[in-house]
Amino acid sequence: MAIRVTVWNENRHEKTDERVRKVYPDGIHGALASILQSQGMEVKTATLDEPEHGLTDAVLENTDVLVWWGHLAHHEVSDAVVEKVYQRVLDGMGLIVLHSAHFSKVFRKLMGTSCDLKWREIGEKERLWVVEPGHPIVEGIGEYIELPQTEMYGERFDIPAPDTLVFISWFAGGEVFRSGCCYNRGRGKVFYFRPGHETFPIFYNKDIQRVITNAVRWAAPVEGPVPKFGQHPEPLEKIDK
Ligand code: ZN
């Protein structure tokens, strides 16, 4: 069965900034959706200005993996929608958090930290080093990915230590950054991936596309057990009282 993906984008830069429209004429969500569609996934898009931000109960119920891009308008995302997305992740939905979505309400809620970082936008080179070469997210990737022009994100990145750290970035200006971070939350999986600034054509890079595709496959739900919590008065084994 095809993985059902919903690509969520706040879609604000695309409406107001000609430079961003030039790079992503169909929006960042359109570019990401076409990558994943070309890999045989069943892809929908949703954006901030739609009712319920396009994330109705029916959409979330039918989403295996949610991809999230936001930057300008994290505060406009309603707490009710954030709570529903959060619960779906705990129930097993995968979540791929891209670039400036480090500050999205849902990622911060899942992490429990500020998720703050340092940044600089002068178009410097980035090299993303693979530090976990056996991980499914780096299938088909070389020792590193090189991006000629990016926005820099630098440590300290205020996140909890990842369950698995897959990429560390080096920047020409000297900073480093944990740029590919895997987490388990409840029955769900979360992957934070750093690249993807709105004015650089990074989502057209074949290696970046490959990582995002691999990440969606990795984060897709599995038919694992549903944990039962709370009081459990009947023991499995007979116990002499
Ligand atoms: Zn950016």
Parse the chain into domains and list their residue ranges.
Answer: 4-113+180-219
pLDDT at 241 over 90: no
Ligand 1 mean position to 157 CA, how many Å?
15
pLDDT digits (tens, 9 = 90+) for 153-183: 999 999 999 999 999 999 999 999 999 999 9
Which residue, among 222, 229, 227, has the nearest Cα to 92 in the 3D structure?
A: 222
Does residue 122 have a pLDDT over 90? yes
Residue type at 114 in one-letter notation: S
- Going from the Cα of 99 to the center of ligand 1, the distance in angstroms, rounded, reads 6
Calculate how far, in angstroms, residue 196's C-alpha sits from the geometric centre of ligand 1: 7
10 Å CB burial of residue 7 (0-12, 13-18, 19+) is: buried
Tokens 């980035």 found at: 126
Please tell me the predicted confidence (pLDDT) of residue 175: 98
DSSP line for 184-199: EETTEEEEEE----TT
Structure token pair of residue 128 = 């993303």
Per-residue model confidence (pLDDT) at position 74: 98
SS3 98: strand
Average pLDDT of the segment spanning 196-225: 97
pLDDT digits (tens, 9 = 90+) for 1-57: 899 999 999 999 999 999 999 999 999 999 999 999 999 999 999 999 999 999 999
The rounded distance, in Å, linking the Cα atoms of 66 and 32 is: 12
Name the DSSP class of 135. S
Q: How far is the CA of 151 from the centre of ligand 1 (A)?
A: 6
Instruction: Determine the pLDDT at residue 194.
Output: 98
Give residue 123's Cα distance to chain centre.
Answer: 22
User: Measured in angstroms, how far is the CA atom of residue 153 from the centroid of ligand 1?
Assistant: 9
List, in sequence order, every beta strand (DSSP E) within 18-158: 42-47, 65-69, 94-98, 118-130, 144-154
Per-residue pLDDT, averaged over 179-206, amounts to 98
> Average pLDDT in the 211-238 region?
95
Report pLDDT for 141: 98
pLDDT of residue 20: 97
pTM value? 0.97
Tens digits of residue pLDDT in 87-110: 999 999 999 999 999 999 999 999
Average pLDDT score over residue span 52-69: 98
Cα(44) to ligand 1 centroid in Å equals 24
> How far does the centroid of ligand 1 lie from the alpha carbon of residue 222, in Å?
32
CATH superfamily of 4-113+180-219: Class I glutamine amidotransferase (GATase) domain (3.40.50.880)
Average model confidence (pLDDT) across the chain = 97
Long-range CB contacts for residues 77-84, cutoff 8 Å, separation at least 24: 77/10, 77/48, 77/53, 77/104, 77/105, 77/106, 78/52, 78/53, 79/105, 81/52, 81/53, 81/55, 82/106, 82/109, 84/55, 84/57, 84/60
* Rounded distance from Cα 112 to ligand 1 centre (Å): 22
Residue 195 Cα to ligand 1 midpoint, Å, equals 8
